[in-house]
Chains A and B, each alone.
Chain A
Amino acid sequence: SQQGEEDPQALSIQEGENATMNCSYKTSINNLQWYRQNSGRGLVHLILIRSNEREKHSGRLRVTLDTSKKSSSLLITASRAADTASYFCATDAGDSGGSNYKLTFGKGTLLTVNP
């Protein structure tokens, strides 16, 4: 079964507002990543947070990780219409460089930012 599960499935906000998406996962991980997908396109990496980190920032993005609750959140501040996309969390587990390493994705959150 898929490792990550995003919540909510869909989110609609106005431009300028903040958007928060959550991700829960089931087993121990090495790192957690967030990706963005524009309609009809491949996924693009946004940010990676390691299992020993609790918070990370990149521009308007803020990611938190709570390994005790097996959950992460992605906050996009001051959203823009161009932020409209699907957002996925991805967890990697297994030995880095090893045969059991896998990168698995959740079902995603569809974010719509209205002008």
Chain B
Amino acid sequence: DAGITQSPRHKVTETGTPVTLRCHQTENHRYMYWYRQDPGHGLRLIHYSYGVKDTDKGEVSDGYSVSRSKTEDFLLTLESATSSQTSVYFCAISTRGAGTEAFFGQGTRLTVV
């Protein structure tokens, strides 16, 4: 497996609380992505980063923020978790973007109660 680690792997949190998911890579890849996976929706892009401190929104970014202060870490924050954010979250990395494969982490299962 590529050197990509997500933490935590499982989390249960209450509605209204802030939650931060961490993606850590040891590959020095430029691009990092956060996706959520839900039944019937496949994978949907939340936010992505194309370099340190360079991030942009994906298709389902509302309610989420990200930060990338160093190459190896990409943080996804739910400022005030809602039940609709219950999902499996995947981080992925790739080198230069187009024409290169993405490597995925093992996922974080988040339940908002």
Contact = CB atoms under 8 A, between A and B. Distances in A.
A96 B98 contact: yes
Nearest to A44: B104
A57 B96 CA distance: 24
Interface residues of B, number: 30
A48 B98 CA distance: 10
A80 interface: no
A114 to B, nearest CB: 22
A79 to B, nearest CB: 22
Interface string A82-101: 00000010101011111111
B99 A104 contact: no
A88 to B, nearest CB: 6
A99 B45 CA distance: 15
Query: On chain A, which size bracket covers the interface?
Result: 20 to 34
Given A44-B104, A103-B33, A96 B97 contact: yes
Given A30-B99, A31-B98, A92-B97, A104 B106 contact: no
A16 B110 CA distance: 38
B64 interface: no
Contact of A103 (B30, B45, B107): B45
11 contacts: A2-B41, A2-B42, A42-B105, A43-B43, A45-B103, A95-B97, A99-B54, A99-B56, A104-B59, A105-B42, A105-B45
Interface of A: 1-2, 6, 30-31, 33, 35, 40-45, 48, 50, 88, 90, 92, 94-108
Interface of B: 30-31, 33, 35, 40-45, 48, 50, 54, 56, 58-59, 90, 92, 94, 96-99, 101-107
